[in-house]
Each structure stands twice: as structure tokens, then as C-alpha cells.
Structure 1
Amino acid sequence: MTPNQSQSWITTWLVEKFPQSRVLSVSYDTSITENTAKDGSIDLPAVAVSLATFLIEGESVGDTQCPIVLIGHSLGGLVVKEICSHAERLSRTYSESPRVVPIKKFLNSVKGTFFYATPNGGSLQRELAAILSSTEPFLTPKYLESLNEDTGRINEDFAKLRRKYGWKTYGVGEADETVISGVQGTSSVVLVDEGEASLDMDMFSKILGTNHLSICQPQERTSESFRCLVDFVMHIVNDQEDAESEDFLLHCGLPEHGVSLEGRVERVMEQLQLREAHPVLVALVGMGGIGKTTLARAVFIEIHASFEYSSFIYNAREALRLRDLDALIRENLYKGEKKDVRTSSNQSVSVWKTLKGKKVLLVMDDVDAREQISIVLSMIDSNWFGKGTRVIATSRVRNEDVLPDFINYDVRGLTQEESRMLFCSHAENPEVPDELVNKVVAQCGGLPLTLEIVGAYLRRETNVAVWEETINRLQRAESASGSVDDRLWNKLKLCYESLENMEQEMFLDLATIFYDHHDLELLKAAWKRSMKAPEVGLKNLVDRCLIRIVHQATKNDIDCGLILQRERVWMHAQLRDMGQVIAAHSRPRILVSTSLGQEDPALNNLITTNAKGEPMIKGLKVSYVENRRCRELRTNIPASCFYLPDLRYLVLENVDISGFIVKFSSSLALLSLHHCRRVLHSSSMSWHNWPIRDTDLASLANLAALEICTDPKIDRPGSPGSISSSSKSTLPTGFHKLAQLRVLLLRSSAVKELPPKFGCLPRLEYLDLRTRELAALPESFGQLTTLERLCLQCRALQKLPATFGELASLRVLELHSLTVDELPDNFGRLQNLRKLDIYSCQKLFSLPDSIGELTGLESMVLSSCNQLTLPESFGQLQGLKDLEIRYCERLKELPGCFGQLHALHTLKLLHFYELAKLPSSFGQLSSLQDLEMTQCLGLRKLPDSFGELRSLRKFKIVECYDLSALPASFGQLLTLQSLTIHRCQLRTLPESFGRLKSLQTLKLEKLPSLRSLPETFGHLWAMKTLTIHQCENLPCLPVSFGHLRGLQRLEMELQSRTFTKLPDSFGRLPALQTLKILSCHLQALPETFGGLSMLEKMRISLSKGVKALPDIPDSFEQLEALQDLVVEVPPKAVAMDVLSGWLEKLEDMGWICTRGSEEGVYAFAKVSRHTPSVFDFAHYMHKRRGVECVCAAPSKHSGRQSRERAEFGL
């Protein structure tokens, strides 16, 4: 928002950077003048009313719910704030009215506010009136006095709103004085000082060379004031994209069964009665390991997008011991199809208020007590949620007291055929008699987990005696006394007991102290202190299906703005529980305490047993202990009680450890401190009070892994409990004496410097260093000759040391948010470097010429480096296999030598705004197999050499809006298997397109200029899947279309009014199994349609405005394989008699309507000829004709329906 229309750069330059954006520049001086009283004062709320009405009602800002960024200069920033406050007041006024909907959409869609030199503190300078009075007559001293009285309220109200909605803020301040000419002469002054402009801002920048007037009038696109705005908008866009990514627990954290879940998902959805308005609660009940979580996840993925809000609480039984339900829901909340990052990050507003009156889907996994779900039940009873709300719980117990009012769905084991398929996939088709295989499978009881574990145990085993003994062991486990879980664990122990001692120890470590996804590198380092080759043990655990290695960003990674993926361990809950039971009876012992401040029997037991000198404690983990409990410990427990001489692992999480007096053990191999306040965050402490002091270093001589992680939300200057900025924030001087340290993860904003001899750590292999205030690395840094992996996220780091190139063992380097403008000249000496990732280094203008010397480099990511250019030596990276470049705005061209990257396998060019062309040498990328180009906005054509990419298998080109044609050589891509073209200006495809003999998948999406497909299109004989979406000017398919003899799946969303028929050759698609024709204007299906002998599923929907249904040919009756037919007709679009006659014709062909809805969706099933239609369609027709019907009276919770039989007839 700008004070006048002179800031046209906003409407032009921003659109160039963000072509999909909508930019409004509104003027508020007119409305201010109209509402200014005669005495020169102003009614700012009246101004906000005028502009808010214009934005929300006049321009429908927020209606599409895409992210909104509000921009204001000087007083315009206050106007922005008051508009938001006025919208909030309106939302409360119209809370029960439909008028609240667009207002709420506006408030929920605002993601960020950007302020140029706005007085956020409320002390406007009088000089402001003098300098602006010539252009803005209303800016009188009296007006400013009046405005100053309101400014405090404006800023206070806005501060509450930004916390409520989680809005990001960015302030930009002037650096130079502004010359003021007035009656009393000329003076110079900084009108809005840095303190005013930066107050309550998430981010702030002072722009050199700008005064109050010039700060928001950049002269060119490279001006710093415009770049700050672009970076902020990009930050908002990236946050939104990250929020839209799928959740780890839903998609990566569960074992894949390899058996179709489709039928089971459909049966659960039937129980959910998704068409009913009343709330329905369904419990998936079954023994552990039977697949309840997997089934719940599959149902959630299938239906969550149709709910206003949804949340999946994984492992609720364990999670609710540590967290409140509202916090868990908030962290895993989806809004529609996408993650709701606003609610997740805004802890000041109750999540229950967000969900009030909304259609909600809540899945709670592993519930075993009523109190875990009691609050949800009470809200269901009080009608807190909106219509259509659904709750799914998984539980091992079938008990009405635990899950009252739930419909129980018994999750059954796999069938014998499914069980054998799953077992053999892990046993790898054993060469033993089928009789033995069938006996083992039968003893697994259809449990997917048992089948996987036992199958992996018997992998490639050919000794019949081992198979027979396994059958006997399984039989004894099944007949043994104990609970269901005990019998299951006895079966799973078969695999555990076959492990080597080292592997058993690793398994128990993972099941107890490290089960919650610790960084795998940390664990490996600790294991290496006492084990040989732990990597071999890990591989065996994976092969035995006891654990999975997944790639996941930690919560701390996300908090710090990193998108890097770490290797982490995931374990099934049943295996974890089994491991914890085994560990409880093993020696040495591991103790895990998860307390919320109450008396903890485990800790008390530790005190007692340790005082007696028995037994050995190998690992100790304490989480979530409140301050009160710590004070009790400090008072009641002598310090000697916490000397644990055999302790190898110590993990403290969210613990106030000021009460713990720990004498570190010389056996300690791993120390992990996560958000341990009072020690890391005491404002009265000096840095020597860190948990590691110089005096401790001798006793930590064997420490191999150290992790110190603070909370970025707390660890900010001036925040309660933060370290004083005046304190000397460094590690102990003798830190280099930790001679066995292999992994150091130091993630603390307070670290300002490293000790001079930091580089003397002789065995350090992995360093992850993240801090806001570290300005330099010591010169000794290059002496870390064993360092293999380095991650630096240091926003104040301006230069890498000259010794950096001496890191001879470095293999992985990640540089994030540094302020360096260049890399050292000796960078090319990192000869062992295999992976290089550079993120958000905004001032890095070029890679060094020596980059070409990194001949062993295999993977590189360059992201959000706005100044970056590539040197000519870039083409010398002969080992580079994977390259991703994104958001590098100044990169206008790739170097001419780019084609010399002969080993390049995968290339992603994303979000280039000025890349006009690819180099002519591009076709020389002889090994390139996977190419993705997204938002290369200046790209008009591909080079003629493009067809020379002889290895290319996958090509995806998205939102390259100026690309109007593919080169004639495109058909030479003989290895191309997958092609996606999305939002380009292609008018046609080249005639050579039919030569793509290997093409199997083709997606043509949102191509408004596409007017024809070449006749050679039918020559794509290898094509299996074809998608044509929103190509509204495509009038027809080519005559040769029926020659696509390999086509199995076809999905077309046509929309074109001229696309009224399919070619006669359409019925000659011999392999077509699935057909979707959406939003069509088809007048008839071709007479050859009955020739689709393999067609199994068909869905056809008519476009809005269509008055007639497509004619059905007589050959339709010949579709013997077709079992699933769905027709969508827009409500009231087709006359009822026409619809009735059309459906009667289908019925005559052997199809009956099994489901009809108000939305005009009809499902049909193939039955014997002339079977009458009894219920759904007749019921629907009567409703449309105003006939009263009695049916489906739902009970309050259970969803069970008492139906009265009604007679219907047409």
C-alpha cells in the first residue's frame, strides 16, 4: 500500500518477479482528506473503513485464500495496521453473519506485512509535517499530534493480531538524514530512527544511501530496498510451499505392506458415512502389528482434503504423556489439503477456537484410555465442531468404557494369499517346499509386522531344519501364557535373538533412549566408542525389518529455516515396546524418565539403586521435568547420587537442569542437551557455567558425540532467560582436549566465537554449527583434517578462513544464510568434496574459479543466492551427477561450457526470472536422464541441440510462460519415458513428436494456447498413461488416437466447448483400463466405444451449462470388463425427463444406479439384465419433485441408522 500512485514500480517490478501474483497499489490521501475534520485532526478508523471495504468487498482480496503481503510506507504502515484491526473488529461484529466469511478469508490469508520507515513506536517527528506538507496538505502539526495519540493503540492492536494469526513482519529503515526546508530555515534529520522502524519486527534492514523520501522509491531493480521486499515475499512463498509438503509421519514413517489396502479403506469409509451431517466416530480395533495405523493413515490421505481442518496424532498413547492434545493437534493440523502453518506457528490462540463450527477430521492413533480422548467426546456432545465431523481412533483394546459411542471396525489380519505374498517378498522366494512356507505363514496369524519380521529372518534360508525349528518356535509362542502383546513379542524375539550381541545392543539403544528419531550420525559416533563397524550392524537391523532409515528434517531444522534432510531411525511401536521390556531386565541398564513434574518412580528408583551401588546404568534420558521437581531433586539428593561411573549416554530434553549436579563419567560417549533452560539461558550466568566446563574436560576424554541445542524462539536477545549479549559466549578454552569427539552438533544463537584452538580436535568428523552471532571462524579451522561433513548456518559469518581449503577429508559441505561475498580462492583444494549445498547466501556474487578443480564433486544445490553467477570453469566439474539451481535471480545465463558436464544425471532449474536461453552446448549433456525446469520466466525456446540429449528419460517443464514451441529435434529423444508440460504457451507439438518411441507417461496441463495435436501422436505406441487437463482451446483428438495400443489410463479435463466428440478410432484402444473424461461438452460417444474390451473404470462429468447428456451407443453394452461407472451431472443442468430416460437406457443395458446425490453424482454397477433399481435413484428423483420421503434417521453418535422401508416409483 503506497500513499500515491507514483510507486508504480510495485505494480510492475513485483509482477515481473512473481508473475502469478496480483498487485494492488491503493491511494489513501483522498480518503484521509475526506475524513479530516475542519480543525486538522483525523479519524484514522474512518480511513481504514474506506480502504478495508475497497480491498475486501470491492477487490475481493483474500477470496482465493492465496498468501497476502501488505506493504506500507511511513504513515501508510500505520494505515496498513489499522486496516487489519478494523477487519478484526468487523469479524467479531459479524461473527454469526455470512458477511464474516470474506473478512475471515482476508485475515487468514495475510501472511506478512512489510514496512518502509514506519514509526512503529508512536513518536512521530514534527519535522515530518514540514517535509511532506507541500505534497500532503493534511499533514499539519495538529494532525500529527492527533495521530500520535492513536499510534500507541494502533501498534498495540496490531501486535495482538500478528501474534494471533502468526503474521511475519519486515521493517526497513532509512540511514541518511532528510533535508527539511521550513519557515525557520533548513535542517537535516533522520525522521524515523532505527529504533522506531525496527520495533516488533521479525526482520529488519537499514538501507544505506536512503532518506525518508527515497527509501521506498528505488531507482532500479537491483536497489537494496526492492531486494529486501523481494526476499521477504520469497520467504513467505517458501514458507507456504514448505507448509504444503506432506507430513513425515503420514508418508514416510510407516512400513509399506506391499498389499493393496483399497478394499479395507473403502470399508472404513462406509463406516464413516461421509455423506451424513451428524458426527461419526469410528474405532479401528485390533491387536498390535495388525496394520491399524497403516489403515488409518491410508484413510486419512484419502479423505482429509475434503475437511476444513484435519489432524493425525501419531502414537497418541505416548505423545499425550508429554504434551497436551491441543498442542499435538496444532502441530499436525491441515487446512483442507495443505498443512496449516499459520495455526501451527501461532500458540497464542487456542486451537479449539480455530476448530469451532468447522468440519473436522481427527485421527488419534493408539488410544488405550478414555481420558486421552475425553475432551474430544465432550466437544462432540456439545456440538462444538461443525457438521460432517469425523473422529477415527486406533486401539488395541475393544472396550466401550475406553471408546464410548464409537463404531468398532475390527481390523482383520491378511488373508492366506495376501500373507504369503507379503512373507515371500521378504523371504525372497525361498527354495523350500511350499508346505513349509504355508505353515510359517499360518503361524504368523495374518499380522503384517510378524510376516515381515519372520520373512526377513528366513531370507534366503535353504536349511529345512531351520524352517521346522522356526515353525516350532512360533507355535510355542502362540500357545504360551500371557497377554496378546506378550505372545506377539515372543514371535518377534525370534529375529531379535538371532542377532549378534552388538546388534542386540544397538536395537535396545534405539528402542529406549534413541527411539524418537535422533540424528543417526550422533548415534554412530557413540557406538564407535565401544563397537566395531556399527554401520554393518545397522544394515543388518534394516535387512531384518527391525528398523527403517528415513530422511527427515528435524523440528529444530525447521525452526532454524533449514530444509535439509537428516538420516534418522524409525521403529514400529510394537518393536519399540518389546525392546523396552527386554532392556528393563538387561544389564547394564538404560533408564528413560518422561515426567511432567510429578513424582517419578523411575528417578526415585535410580536414586535408591545407585545409592546401593547396583546395578550399572548405561543410559539415562530425562525429558520434560518442571522447575519444581528439579528444585526438589537439588534439595533432597546429594551430588554423589548422580555420579554414574558406567554411564555411556546422557540425554536431557526440555529439562531445567539447574537442580542436577552431575559429575561426568569417563565412560560417557554421548551427551545430548535439548532446550535445557537455566543452564543455557540464565541471564545472570556467565558462559563458564555451561554444563561443560574446563574442569570437566578431563573426565570427558572419551566423549564421542556432543549435541547442544537451544530453542530459537527463546534464545533471542532480550527474551526472558536469554544469555546477556555482554557475556562472553564461547566454548571452554580447552575444548580441543576432547580428543575422541567425532560429532558436534552446536545449535545455539548465543555462540559468538569459537576457541582459538578449535581446529585441534583430532577426530572430529561431523560439525553442525548454527548460530546468529558467530562472526568468524578461527584460523585453526583448517586443521580439522578428519572433518568429513560440515554444516554452517551462521548469519553473521562474513568470511571463511584462508585455511578453509585445507579441510582435506571434507565430503559434505552445507552453507546456509552466511553473509560471505566470496569463497576462498583455495576452495578447489577440497578434493574429497562430494556434495555441496549453498542456501540463502544473499551476498555471494560468484563461485571461485577454482571450483572447476573439484573433479570429485557429485552433487550440488544452489538456492536463493540472488547475486550468484557461475564461472566458466564450472564446466570442468567432470564428476557432477546431480545439480539443482533455484531462486538465483541474477543468473541470466548458464556458462557456455555447461554442456561439458558429461556425467550430469539430474538437473533442476527452478525459479529463474531472467534466464532467456540455454547454451547451445546443452545437447552435449550425454548422461542427463532427469530434467526439470520450473518458472524459467524469460525462456522463449529450447536450443536446437535439445534433441541430442540421448539419455534423457524424464522431462518436466512447468510455468515457463513464454515458451511457445518445442524444437523440431524434440522427437529425437528416443529414451524419453515421462514428459510433463504445465502452463506454457505451446500452440502445438512438433510433427516429430510421434517418434518418442519410449514415451510411457505424458501430462499436458493448463496449456491455453494448445490448438492441436499432431497426427503422428498415434505413433506413441509405448504410451501407458495420458493426462490432458485444462487445454480449453484443444478442439479434438487426432484421428490416429486409436493407434495408442499400449494406453492403459486416460484422463481428460476438456472444458473446450468445441470438443464435442471423440474420434471414431477411440474404440480401438485395446489396453485401456481406466477412463476419466471431466468437464466435457461431449454430445455422443462413438459407435466404436464398445470395442474397449479392457475398460474397467470409467468416470464422465459434464461441464456447467451443458443441457444434454452424451448419446450412448448400442455398443456400450459390450463393455463386459467395466465394473465401475460414475457419471457427474451439474445439479439442475439437465431436465429430469432427459436424465431419467438416459438412466433407463443404461438400466436396459444391465446397469443400475447404486448411488445418487444432491450434487448430481451417480454411481452404477453392472448386474444381470433388467434388475430393477430400488432405492437411491428413485429416492433422489422424488426429492427433486417435492415428494416427502422417510429414510435414514441417524442416532446421536454411533452413526447407526434405523431405516423405514419406503415404496418408490416413477
Structure 2
Amino acid sequence: MHRRIKKRKTNASGNAEDVDTGASGSMTLLTENNFVGSGSSPTEINNSASTGNCYEVFLSFRGSDTRHGFTDHLYHGLLNAGIDAFRDDDELCHGEDIRPVLMEAITSSKILIPIFSVNYGTSSWCLDELVQIMERKNNNGQIVLPIFYKVKPAEVRYQTGRFGEAFHERESRLRESSSFDPMTLEKWKSALDEVGTLKGYEALGSEAELVKLVVQKALNELKKKFELVISENFVGIDSHVNKVIEFMDDKSHATLFVGIHGMGGIGKTTLAKTIYNKLSSQFEHRSFIADIRESWKHNGIHYLQNQLIDDILKLKSQVHNEDEGTKFISTKFNGKKVFVLLDDVDNVVQLKCLAGNRDWFSLGSRIIITTRNQRILEEVRVDYTYDHKEMDNDQSLILFSKHAFRMNSPPREFKDLTQEVVSIAGGLPLSVEVFGSLLCGKEPTQWRDTINKLKIIPNMEVQERLRISYNALDDEQKQIFLDIACFFIGIDKRITSYMWEACDFFPGEGIEALRFMSLIKVVNDHELIMHDQLRDLGREIVRKENQRQPQYRSRLWDSKEALKVLKDNKGTEKIEAINLSEGSAKGFNEVFQPKKDGDIYTEKQFKNLTNLRYFHMINAQLSGDFKDLMKGLKWLQWRKGPASFEVNNFDVKELVVLELQGSEINEKWEGWRFFKMAEKLKYLDLSYCRSLENTDFLSAFEKLEVLNLRGCERLKQIDASIEDMEGLLRLELGSSRSLHRVVGTEHPVPRFYLRELPVEIGKLKALRQLDLSNTSSLFALPDSIGSLENLEILEISCGGIEELPNGIGSLRKLRELRAYGCHNLQRIMVESMCNLSFLRHLDFVSCHELQSLPDLPSGLTYLGVTCQSCKLPSLSHLRHLKELRLWECIFLQCIEELPSTQLKSSKCSQLTDIEESESQQFLNTPFMLDLLEVFGCESIEMLDVSQFIHLRTLIVRFCRNLLEV
């Protein structure tokens, strides 16, 4: 509710008229102790006005000229914009002296607006106000915005024209008065002269437009009032602000919805507030609805709707329920250009009730939404989504130093400690601020204790903020979150999903929910990533299941704790997952570590682990009768297992994931008779089981979707029964890329015994990825490979393949063909490669025996080539190509049909007129090339890249005959 002083001017009889029209006429000059009001002589005031109200705009005007016209419109325009304005409402009570209140109103108002009309100079009250206004401008720095209503600034300054005539007529009457004071007249004229020089507004056209201009100017000047409180210590926000504002500065004047999402504590609200502060003064109608999640929970949606209505329309308590509020907002706001910040939205219903449709608002409106849940933004189809990222190390260091040391960098003696704390915070602004405040003023010895504690027990203030997102999950999603935090950071979500599906955790929906809530990220297509602070949150939740007795927790991720529980025979039915391996579950390098004498675990240690669903051990052995002990196990990671198998009654029928990396097992291993009963098995990893020679044991696993035989160097054949794996999606053979010989290193190329693939491989209709990299003994692909109708990725890099069969032209869904370093590859027999419309990545780099390339498909975005031809096929149609690498094409003379430019040598200058004409037509072809690398192309003499408007990286090396770029 805007507080207003209400007053009116009366004569002794109580008639409302200007006392200056009387014969005597008051000439009293306004002072702090003797001050009167706007327009005419006031005598009364309401009680609320005498209590020290503060105003932002003071209007001085001649009531008889503009009270019911322009001034009234301006006054209400200011109020509607949320500005506290003082004016003469002509509603004063009788009998009170308002002079101190008028003095307070002028003194407290940041902006003073005298409205000069024809008869303004005939009122002593107006002129006295003007004198005070100019004194406040000169002494206190208050802003004066004069408005010249149907008079010219020069007429006011020099008292000429109609304004001057009225002023001088009044002056003549005053001079006849016995109480005439020449000094007062000089102060009036001096004030009129000074105000006439100020930049103001003239009412020459539309009064409505003038009101808008003045209100907007007032908003700009009062911008600080509307700015939201933001920590002065916040660092590194400008780049984020600029990215969002760049989008919001839309020239189409459309109504835009902008969403900002990210994990808790990342700084979403601070970013949104900063944007709001920068842009709010451009909008007459604006609203910031803070902490919607909590307000909705405690007060209901209609409370938030009323807040929005009050902010925009200045109407209080208009609605009493959700439906009434939605209808009111959707019908009453459509003529308003609004700027609304909806902070911390956690339910799409909240958005639909507060800003459900663009049609609710006038064109040019801006709605900013902050949320932890990206799904909400997608559901309401915001125009722009901004994923707010963590701070980098430098920004974190500055922010931390501001809180810990009240400076931008740490003192020298705290430098190393500061880096350690910043590393723990992981770029999360909330953590950085909390840790900085926590350590402020403490001695280095205290820092060390606090740091050690933070590494073990996360800070409670940070945890409570982050836990809000966790609490919003359903039970299955919480289980997935805790599994990732304890075991699966850095793991392929496709593998973990097999277990979660078997546990009815609904991983498809769950992973998406976690991703939308910014609790995890999925990178490199499939890898699960979680912020360290969220990881610590998950582990702390599990730890608090029983802080002193780990055997009563659901998950044991600390190998020392887990090992102690097992060795002490303290396992309980509470335990669902155990990791006995030091470090992460990913542990790829564990396979290559020296063999140690492993632990032996007996049935006694597993007797009470009746709910175990995930078990990870390395270099260990099981022994004893395991009857009824592993019935619920879904995932077994048993790395570097022994050649012997000393378990009886090993019931693992529910297994869906089995990893035996680096184990000493072979095809006759005793364990297969138990594992073959796992008919639900979807994922089998036998990589680096170097004793395997064949795969006849695989016939039992008909539901297998992923089979990894990488690094099985003695493997001589793939059993024909592979054709029964109708659901197989991924098949991996060969060796680790890291073991392949690289220029400048001496890693040996492993020897492989596998000479051919079975023709039955063509029966794998569901296969999407076939990895044959580093299969040095495999010289040919079967023709049946063309029957793999769903194959998307074919990897043969660094293998022994000598030619690509024609059948590859039938792989219509192929997206990537990687043949890097195939030193034996001579021919590509594919006649219809140009028909592979899905192909995006084609790599023949370091294929030194390759003679030529076939015609290429138009959808390529990456092309890498090494070949012996002097001319490549036409590239003019490759308009999506972003990376082109030409390596050691020693006979290549030119590429005369490359879009937008040409590579050529002097030998290419002998083009026919037709060829030259065809070449030129591609010079202006749109071309997206971002990177061009030319390496060891000895015949090229000139390189022209002048037309590559998108080129960011140009690499030219060992082109010894190159003369000009």
C-alpha cells in the first residue's frame, strides 16, 4: 500500500481556493521550520502522514491548471510503476499544520518534479516549493526533472510569454502589498532562471506518451530501490549474465520465457537476481517471487498469485484459491509488459498458475525461471535454457578469499591450504562461501583440522541445501542416486541400468530425473558424473543409516570398512552392495597391476548377506558351500580371479551383469557350470582373460546384449552359437587402444590368434557396435557383415584388414566408420558408400597403402584421409563437414572441388575451362569447416583458406613444398 500525504488548501472560510489570490497574499518563504505545501495554502493532514513517511517523487504543480488532467495521470502512472509519489490530493483534514510534513516529503524524495503550467508562477506556494527544490538539488544532490506543460523552458527562465504575463501580473499585486519582500521575489526569479536551464520534458504531443517517458526516467533513477540484494562478494558472474541477457535482448519484441537450471548452491538465484537488477528499470511492471518451493509448501499457490498481482497491479488479496488466481492473472495481465522472476520453482503446476502462457502478458514481457529440475523448463517449453555451471578454480579462489580473508587472494602462508579447500568445494559457490566463512580468522593449525574433517564429514550447512533436491526424488530415484554416489561415478549408465532394471528401479526414468534435477550429468554419451559435494551428500545419507556400525548400512563403498565387516562375520540383511576394491569401481588399470596373493572369502562371511545385489572384489577367491547365499545378486564384478573355482552351490541365477576382467579363467573353467544358469545375463565382460581360446560356453547366454572379449589374445575363434544372441547390441574384440604402438613410444602390439569372424555374425540383426580395433591377425571381414542392418559404429582401427567388402555399402544406419592406422588396408570395395546417408565420421588416417577413396556420402562431419591418390573424390557436396584431416597424402596435388576454397599445387593450374568453371561455382558454397589439418602432403604448393569463414583451427605441418598460404 503506497503511503500518501493527503491535504487541501482552504481560506479562512473553508473554501478551497488559492490564498495568493487574496489582496494581501502571503510572501512567506519556505524554510525547514516554516514550510507549506504544493499548489495553495494547506491547513490539515491525515495522521499517517505525520509519522515520517519517505517518498521517492515529489510533484509540485498548480492545481487549477493540471490537478485533474496531466498531473493526475502522471501521479497514477508513478503509483502503478511502484513508485511512492507525493502530491496534493485535496483531501486534507482541517486544523493541522502540514509544513513539517511537506518539508519531510521534499527532503526524502529522491526525484523532485515541478510541473510548470501557465499559472504556476501565480502561486506563492508553488514558487516557494521551487526555491526549496532547487536548494535540495544543489545541497543534497537530489534529482530535478522539470516538466514544461504548454509553456516553453525559455518562458519560465526569463518570465516571458503567457507564463511571464501571469507571473508579472502576480508580481505587480505583490509589490502593492505592505508585506512585500524584494528578497523573496529575487529567490523566485533565481530559481526560475536555474530550473529553465535544466534538461526536462515539454508537453508538446501525446500526454500519455509523456507520462510513460517521465515514469521510465523515474524508474531508471530509482533503479537501486528495485534491485534485489546480492552478495557483494560474488565472483565470476558477469559472463553468465551476459550470455542470458544476449538472448533476452530480442529485437522481435516477443514475450520470452528464460529458464536457469543447475544443482543446489550453484548460484542460480544470484544469477537471476543480477539479471533482474540490470533490466528491471526497463519495465514498468515487475515482480520477484522468491523461494517459490518453500512458499508454496507453507502458504499455498494463491499466496504467490496474490503477491504477483500486488506487484503488477497494486491490488491486494484479490484471490482466495488456485483456480481463481489463475483466471485473474490470465485475464488481467494481458495488457501489461511485465518482467517477472520466479525463483526456485520445483513443480510445473507453480508455473502454470503464475505464468502459464505467453498470451497472458503483453508483447515484450520477460519471464525468468530458476529451478533445479530441467524437466519443468522442457515441459513449459521455455524459449531459452541456461545450464549454470560450476565456478572455475580462479573464480573459486577469489570468492573464497573474499569470505576468508576479506581480500581477493590468500596471504602467502595460507596459499596451499586455500587451494586444498577450494578443491574440496569443487566450484560450488555455496560451498566456497560456507567454507570461507567457516575458516575466517582461524590459525593455520585450525585450518588443517577443519580440512581433514571436511574430507571425512561434509559440512552440514552445504548438505542441508543440497539435500532439498534429494528429498524431492521418489524412492527408486533415491536408490539410483545413492548407488551412483557410492559406486558408479564414471561408469557407463548402460551397464548400471541392467542392475537397476532387474531391481525395478526404472532407470530410464530415474536417470533422466536425476539429470533434470542437476544431481548427475551424463557425459561422453553414457558416462555418469556427479559433483563431489553431491557424492558426499549421498555417502553421508548412507553413513547416517548407522554411523557407528557399518554392517547396518545399505552400502559399503569403503573397502577397509567392508573388509572388516566380512572378516568379522558381521554381515547383515541390511547390506545391498559391497565394494572390496580400493578406489573406484571403474578400476580399469587394476587389470594390469601385478598379481598379489588374494583374500579368500568363505560362506560364513556371506551367510547373513541375504539382500546383496552388487558385489565387487579383485584378486580374491571364494570358497565353500554358498547354497542360498547369492540368490539376489544382480551384478558381480570379480576381477583378476583365479583359474580354480572352489565354490559349491553357487546360485547366481538372477545375475544380469558379470565382469571377470583380467581373470585367469579359460573356456573349461569350473565356474561356467554355475554362471551358465544365469539366463538373464545381459552384460558379460571377459576382457583380458588371456587364457581363453574359444567361446563355446557362450551358448547359454542367449539374452546377452554386451559381450566384451577385448584383450583375449589367445582367442582363436568365436563360436557359431553367437548367432543365437538375437539381442546382442555391442561386441568388442581386439586390444586396448592404450597398448597399441604410438609414434614415439615402444608399446608392443599384442599378438592375436583370431584369424576370422564366423559368417554367423551376420545374424546379429540388433548389433549396433562392432569393435575390432587392434585385431592385427584379422585380415578380412566376412561378406555377411552387410546384413547387420542396425549397425551404427564399426571400429577396425589399427587392425590387419586388407580391404573393405562391398557389403559395408548396405549398412544404411552406419554413423561411424573408424579405420585409423589400418596399415594393410589397400582397397575399399564399397561401390555405394555415397548412399550411407547416416554416416557422419569417416577415418582413414594413417592407412598408407590405401590407393583411393570411393564417392563420399554428403552427411559427413568428420573426414580423415591418408591415401596414395593424386586426387580425392569431389568434396563439394560435403556442406556439413566440420573437420578435415589430410595426413601424408604425399601424391595429392589438389582438391579442386572443396567447398568455399581450394588446395592446389602448380600442377593443378592446367584445368580446362569447364573444370575451372565447375571449381569456381563452389567458392561461395556454405561450408561449416571448423578445422583443417594438412600433414605431410609433400606435393601441395599453395593453400588457399580465404573463403573458410567458419575456420577456427588451421594446422599445416611437414608440407615441404608448400610455398604460399
TM-score normalized by structure 2? 0.46
**Is the radius of gyration larger for structure 1 or structure 2?**
2
TM-score normalised per structure 1: 0.37
